[in-house]
Amino acid sequence: MSKAPKIDPQEQARILSEALPHMQRYDEEIVVVKYGGHAMGQEQMARDFARDIVLLEQTAINPVVVHGGGPQIEAMLKKLGIKSEFAAGLREMVLAGSINKQIVGYINAAGGKAIGLCGKDGNLVQARKVSRTVVDPDSNIEKVVDLGFVGEPEKVDLTMLNQVIGREMIPVLAPVATSANGGTFNVNADTFAGAIAGALKAKRLLLLTDVPGVLDKSKSLIAELSMSDARKLIADGTISGGMIPKVETCMYALDQGVEGVVIMDGKVPHAVLLELLTDHGVGTLMHR
């Protein structure tokens, strides 16, 4: 790995000094970070992310990490020769087991005190089954498609999380939820993070993705969006495809009392610090 270019000490001091108003803004506040996409797959990027999360905790910000793990799960299924639809138990094992504990390990190696949990612990997130309807093109009849063990959050119980936050510990949450009868549901990581941020009334929800943020028709980044702007852009097709559920998660979190939500590129080095502790900011900030 090439060494970082040397920075003049005066310049370094100036940069630190500029972070003060940002530190004051987030002092003792909760920031939920959804960590996912390809930034997760590379060890050095994962370690840099962990170090940045520890830095937030050291500056009296309360980070809560929610992670995905799609690419890693698919790789594991392929390796074991298991078809995706039969993999509910394995998904839980990979998400709440190996991926979760790897992130916990990186944060602890950087000097933090991370604690790995999932939505089943302390009944943190209870979900209900997700089903989708599709129209059969031949008969024009609507059919319900069973998505297996996929759920959407219904209830968040903060009892356990409130014991952890603000006590120098960093919760790292896998998006696995419990069902009303104690079963297991896999929940989309963005949706899970939105539910957690909403319940905690977090100051910020950061969604780390593989894209720079919300783009306009000419593919330029939109720096800020209100909820009504976002609805218009969905209606006119500017926001489309996989960005729609992300933006809907943002709107849900804002409705629940989160102050601001940022969709940003997790592959940008130190993206979380750039967004929270500098004037620079990355991605698209959504607000009420």
185 DSSP β-pair partners = 177
pTM over 0.75: yes
Distance (Å, rounded) from C-alpha 133 to C-alpha 146? 9
Task: Give the pLDDT of residue 86.
Answer: 59
* Interval 41-51 mean pLDDT: 93
Query: pLDDT band at residue 85, thresholds of 50, 70 and 90?
Result: low
- Each residue of 149-178: pLDDT tens digit? 788 999 999 999 999 999 999 999 999 999
215 DSSP β-pair partners = 221
* Interval 221-234 mean pLDDT: 97
Record the tokens describing residue 278, joined without a space: 């500098």
Record the tokens describing residue 157, joined without a space: 């119980």
2 pLDDT higher than 60: no
Could you tell me which residue, 70 or 234, shows the higher pLDDT?
234
Task: Give the pLDDT of residue 73.
Answer: 79
- Each residue of 94-132: pLDDT tens digit? 889 889 999 999 999 999 999 999 999 999 999 999 876
Task: Give the pLDDT of residue 192.
Answer: 97
Record the tokens describing residue 153, joined without a space: 């959050």
Eight-class DSSP state of 82: -
Task: Answer whether 283's CB lies under 8 Å from 212's CB.
Answer: yes
Record the tokens describing residue 5, joined without a space: 């270019």
The Cβ-side half-sphere exposure at 41, using a 13 Å CA radius, reads 12
* Residues sharing a CB contact under 8 Å with residue 264, sequence separation 6 or more, in sequence order: 206, 207, 208, 209, 212, 213, 271, 275, 282, 283, 284
Q: Where are the beta strands (DSSP E) in the chain?
A: 30-35, 62-67, 114-118, 125-135, 142-156, 170-174, 176-178, 184-186, 204-209, 224-226, 260-265, 284-287
Share of the chain above pLDDT 90, in %: 74
Ranges 37-41, 88-92, 131-135, 181-185: which has the least confidence: 131-135
* Interval 205-224 mean pLDDT: 96
CA 125, chain centre distance (Å): 15
Task: Give the pLDDT of residue 196.
Answer: 98
| Distances, alpha carbon 18 to alpha carbons 63, 182, 220, 270, 282, in Å | 21, 49, 28, 16, 17
